Amino acid sequence: DAKTTQPTSMDCAEGRAANLPCNHSTISGNEYVYWYRQIHSQGPQYIIHGLKNNETNEMASLIITEDRKSSTLILPHATLRDTAVYYCIVSSGYSTLTFGKGTMLLVSP
Amino acid sequence: EPEVTQTPSHQVTQMGQEVILRCVPISNHLYFYWYRQILGQKVEFLVSFYNNEISEKSEIFDDQFSVERPDGSNFTLKIRSTKLEDSAMYFCALRAGSYPYEQYFGPGTRLTVT
């Protein structure tokens, strides 16, 4: 089973920041937090990952709390094309991915 | 970002028939995965394949399933005798980058068993 808890759905206005929370209270010291998304039954798309420091790339930012029990994925300026299911996944970095149900993000005009 | 293509995009087959799903990584990679997603359900891991051997498999990956890399390029998933419950999207993924690794997924093959 997935080791993460995410809200079922969230809404965001186009152009605003989307902040997607994830709880992973049982994360182990050597496990990373990964985020993927899936746009309408397409293959999951890698977004970002982190261990304990905040991370940023061209797609998003990842904020991990100091105790590593939760994290937030930030899409700074959401567009309609960001409408997707977002998955927060805890993984050792070697292992297979265990997907949960994720958060359905709906970006509206 | 590594590119992964899958063929066919949609496969319709009758129950009991064999199907072969193909994955073509554009660049040279060694570590592959198959996942599936039944309509409306979670993405589930099936099998991982490294250096021409199965590295790990799930309970779903029973004797009806097999994987191989026949020509050093294509990576295939074979289902020997399809069942209705095999209807799903099947995604190939490859592992890329350096530790901690990322996985890059193909667009999927929609398998419909009638």
- Does the pLDDT of residue A100 top 80, yes or no? yes
Give residue-wise pLDDT tens across range A54-89: 999 999 999 999 999 999 999 999 999 999 999 999
Tokens representing A78? 């959401």
Residue whose token pair is 């808890």:
A5
Residue A46 with chain B: CB contacts under 8 Å:
1, 102-104
Q: What are phi and psi of B86, to 5 degrees?
A: -80, -10
- Confidence (pLDDT) at B96: 87
pLDDT at residue A94 in the model: 84
Work out the burial of residue A86: count CB atoms within 10 Å of its CB; fewer than 13 is exposed, 13-18 middle, 19 or more buried. Answer: buried
- Residues of chain A contacting B106 with CB distance shorter than 8 Å: 43
Tell me what pLDDT residue B26 has. Answer: 64
Q: What proportion of chain A, given as a percentage, has pLDDT over 90?
A: 88
Q: A37 to chain B: nearest residue by CA?
A: B105
Calculate how close chain A gets to B45, using CA atoms only, in Å. Answer: 7
Distance between CA atoms of A9 and A86, rounded to whole angstroms? 9
Can you read off the two tokens belonging to residue B112? 């419909």
A42 in B contact zone (CB under 8 Å): yes
| DSSP three-state, residue B33 | strand
Contacts B48 to A, Cβ<8 Å: 96
Beta strand A103-108 with A9-13 is parallel
Q: Which among A42, A46, A87 has CB closest to B102? A: A46
Contact B56, B48 (CB under 8 A): yes
> What pLDDT does B70 receive?
78
Concatenating the DSSP letter of every residue in A30-87 gives TPEEEEEEE-TTSPPEEEEEESSS-EE-SS-EEEE-TTSSEEEEEETT--GGG-EEEE
CB of B32 less than 8 A from some CB of A: no
